[in-house]
Amino acid sequence: MIDRSIADEAGRLVSGERNDQYGPPEVALLRIAGLWSGYLGFELDASDVAKMMMLLKLARTMDGSYKRDSFVDGVAYLLIAEGLDNGSTD
């Protein structure tokens, strides 16, 4: 059964609570992209970082233990990446 409340919670975090606490996600993701690009020696953008952060959250679920927060955050990062890719970051 799909728990749609996870997507709802992720959407609220991206557009509300986390945005209020940390500012627009693309600002931090661009900073991270710059740092990771320098470390890796090739360019990343904010969308790349959001997608890789989603993969980090997915990796945390692979030990078999259930932590709702990992799923919520993973969906939130995917929503951010989608907004960055389609040019809609608000």
What is the secondary structure of 1-39 as a DSSP string?
---HHHHHHHHHIIIIIHHHHH--HHHHHHHHHHHHHHH
The tens digit of pLDDT for each residue in 18-30 reads: 777 888 899 999 9
Q: Which residues of 55-68 are buried (b: 16+ CB within 10 A; e: fewer)?
A: eebeeeeeeeeeee
The tens digit of pLDDT for each residue in 28-64 reads: 999 999 999 999 999 999 999 999 999 999 999 999 8
Q: Which amino acid, residue 21?
A: Q
Judge residue 42's burial from the number of C-beta atoms within 10 Å of its C-beta, 0-12 exposed, 13-18 middle, 19 or more buried.
exposed
The tens digit of pLDDT for each residue in 79-88 reads: 999 999 998 7
Domain layout of the chain by residue ranges: 4-85
